[in-house]
């Protein structure tokens, strides 16, 4: 006999937790199924603890900027308080009781175990069968994607989980992948004294973003002593004694005491029973309609949808699904103004399309660029003022379709531009508004003045 519930949510990461909590709050009988920790990747091994590491590294970097501007400092970097904060404040020593209680206090039912679809509206968890009257939500997130480099599967490499749980900064660290995880963690560990080497297959860092941002970041990381190998492919990995060796295509051998693999993440649908509802378990992502419906009575939220592996995307989609289940009116999903922030120093904020994406769409593109050090605030800021604003205009319509804001607080500066892209504020209107002096976001006004074909 199957136990009857209103909704089953498989995976209680940021997406699943939000939709399950919202539906339980609304009085539905909701079963949340979680195989590991309620809260998912973000609070325990991803966003939150990594940002604590970055905050600590940024404090060190700011202290190193004191000479010439504010006196002198004596600095003794120590990873111990970073590890302690991650253990005690971020993750409760990787214990999810608070998050589990938050859900069950709303009336939610929590099943600890691995959920598996057993036909439409049916979910099995460790031999128990549940039937969901309204439907099922898939929110099972993503896993690190490990590239098929010979030897890699035989060595004890780190993923983000090991890096986040590190009790000390390694003497030396090899990082495979110069995307968001790679650059954020490379800089954080580097600032605590690890000798860091980053190997990125593409020609620049954070290759999904504007090349100007990748170039800016590469210059800064190099100045901080990080060895960057872009356009480089690993052909072999070895682990001898306590040393990892990554061999590149040209024969170069790179070594490190730890090896972090940060070459992307992807959904893992194996064992989820997607075939029992007519979906392909080998798919990269679940295809959905604008209200995140993947099949009748089956919704998808978060990393599994492939719209951007970000906590804010998971929560945005969760809210749309909650409305759909409750029959509340509201718009479907719209990713035109999808914001991203890479939390390096300088932060790289970005929204909407890059110039390349806009051109590939066949838009009539104009771009404008301004540099943070040339702005009044950038000049005042001095040490640590590297950055830029780049705007991408659809000149045919006279609206911005994308923007990048790299610099101090770059992620915060991006917000106004996200509003402009989302609301399609005419560029002419943006040109004639008042920008507070001397803010970093005044660079937007300079970039608007620079818009050209």
Ligand X SMILES: NC(=O)c1ccc[n+]([C@@H]2O[C@H](COP(=O)([O-])OP(=O)(O)OC[C@H]3O[C@@H](n4cnc5c(N)ncnc54)[C@H](O)[C@@H]3O)[C@@H](O)[C@H]2O)c1
Q: How far is the CB of 353 from ligand X (least distance, A)?
A: 16
Q: How far is the CB of 334 from ligand FAD (least distance, A)?
A: 18
Q: Are 205 and 222 in contact (CB under 8 A)?
A: no
The contact mask relative to ligand FAD for 155-194 (x = CB under 6 A, - = no) is -----x--------------------x-------------
Using Cβ positions, the residue closest to ligand X within the complex turns out to be 179
Q: Is 184 annotated as a binding residue?
A: yes
* For ligand X, the closer CB: 184 or 394: 184
Q: Are 351 and 417 in contact (CB under 8 A)?
A: yes
The secondary structure element, H or E, covering residue 214 is: helix 211-223
The contact mask relative to ligand X for 290-319 (x = CB under 6 A, - = no) is -------------------xx---------
Q: For residue 157, give Cα distances in angstroms to 174, 252, 293, 418.
A: 10, 20, 37, 37
From 187, 194, 311, 333, residue interacting with ligand FAD (rule: CB under 6 A): 311
Which candidate, 16, 13, 40, places its Cα nearest to that of 30?
16
From 178, 402, 408, 410, residue interacting with ligand X (rule: CB under 6 A): 178
Specify the pairing of strand 388-394 against strand 265-266.
unpaired
Which candidate, 43, 77, 42, 41, places its Cα nearest to that of 57?
77
**Which of ligand FAD, ligand X, none does 107 bind, CB closer than 5 to 8 A by kind?**
none
CB-CB neighbours of 91 under 10 Å: 21
Q: Which residues contact 317 (CB under 8 A, 6 or more apart)?
A: 15, 292, 300, 301, 302, 305, 307, 333
Specify the pairing of strand 243-248 against strand 234-240.
antiparallel
By the rule CB under 6 A, 207 interacts with ligand X: yes
The contact mask relative to ligand FAD for 14-53 (x = CB under 6 A, - = no) is xxx----------------xxxxx--xxx---xx--xx--
238-267: which residues touch ligand X (CB under 6 A)?
262-265
What is the DSSP annotation of 412-448?
HHHHHHHHHHHHT-BHHHHHTS---TT-GGGHHHHHH
317-356: which residues touch ligand X (CB under 6 A)?
341-343
The contact mask relative to ligand FAD for 260-299 (x = CB under 6 A, - = no) is ------------x---------------------------
Tokens of 339: 């914001």
Q: Is 182 annotated as a binding residue?
A: yes
**Which of ligand X, ligand FAD, none does 147 bind, CB closer than 5 to 8 A by kind?**
ligand X
The secondary structure element, H or E, covering residue 21 is: helix 14-25
| CA 335/CA 422 separation, integer angstroms | 9
Number of residues that bind ligand FAD (CB under 6 A): 36
339-378: which residues touch ligand FAD (CB under 6 A)?
343
By the rule CB under 6 A, 407 interacts with ligand X: no
The residues pairing with 116 across neighbouring beta strands, listed in sequence order, are: 124
Residue ranges of the binding site for FAD: 51, 115, 140-142, 303
Interacting residues toward ligand FAD by CB under 6 A: 10-16, 33-37, 40-42, 46-47, 50-51, 114-115, 139-142, 160, 181, 272, 302-303, 309-312, 314, 343
């Amino acid at each position: 006999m199957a136990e009857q519930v209103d909704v089953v949510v498989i995976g209680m990461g940021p997406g699943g937790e939000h939709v399950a909590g919202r539906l339980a709050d609304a009085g539905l009988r909701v079963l949340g199924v979680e195989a590991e920790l309620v809260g998912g990747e973000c609070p325990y091994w991803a966003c939150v603890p990594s940002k604590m590491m970055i905050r600590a590294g940024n404090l060190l970097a700011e202290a190193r900027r004191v000479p010439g501007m504010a006196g002198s400092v004596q600095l003794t970097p120590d990873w111990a308080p970073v590890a302690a904060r991650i253990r005690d404040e971020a993750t409760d020593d990787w214990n999810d009781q608070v998050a589990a209680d938050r859900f069950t206090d709303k009336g939610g039912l929590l099943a600890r175990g691995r959920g598996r679809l057993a036909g439409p509206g049916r979910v099995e968890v460790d031999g128990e069968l549940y039937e969901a009257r309204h439907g099922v939500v898939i929110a099972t997130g993503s896993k690190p994607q490990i590239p098929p480099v010979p030897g890699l599967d035989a060595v004890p490499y780190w993923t983000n989980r090991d890096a986040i749980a590190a009790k000390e900064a390694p003497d030396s660290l090899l990082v495979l992948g110069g995307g968001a995880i790679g650059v954020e963690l490379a800089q954080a560990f580097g600032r605590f004294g690890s000798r860091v080497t980053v190997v990125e297959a593409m020609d620049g860092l954070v290759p999904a973003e504007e090349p100007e941002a990748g170039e800016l970041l590469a210059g800064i990381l190099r100045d901080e002593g990080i060895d960057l190998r872009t356009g480089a492919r690993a052909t072999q990995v070895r682990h001898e004694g306590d040393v990892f060796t990554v061999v590149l295509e040209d024969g170069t051998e790179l070594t490190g005491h730890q090896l972090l693999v940060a070459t992307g993440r992807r959904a893992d649908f194996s064992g989820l029973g997607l075939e029992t509802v007519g979906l392909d378990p080998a798919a990269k992502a679940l295809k959905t309609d604008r209200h995140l419906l993947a099949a009748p009575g089956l919704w998808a939220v978060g990393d599994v949808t492939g719209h951007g592996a970000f906590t804010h995307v998971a929560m945005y989609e969760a809210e749309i699904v909650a409305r759909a289940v409750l029959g509340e009116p509201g718009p479907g999903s719209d990713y035109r103004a999808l914001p991203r922030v890479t939390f390096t120093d300088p932060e790289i904020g970005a929204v909407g399309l890059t110039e390349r994406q806009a051109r590939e769409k066949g838009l009539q593109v104009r771009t404008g660029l301004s540099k943070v050090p040339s702005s009044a605030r950038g000049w005042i800021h001095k040490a640590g003022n590297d950055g830029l604003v780049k705007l991408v205009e659809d000149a045919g319509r006279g609206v911005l379709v994308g923007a990048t804001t790299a610099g101090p607080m770059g992620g915060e500066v991006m917000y106004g531009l996200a509003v402009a892209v989302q609301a399609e504020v005419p560029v002419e209107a943006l040109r004639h508004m008042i920008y507070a002096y001397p803010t970093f976001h005044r660079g937007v006004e300079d970039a608007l003045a620079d818009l050209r074909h």
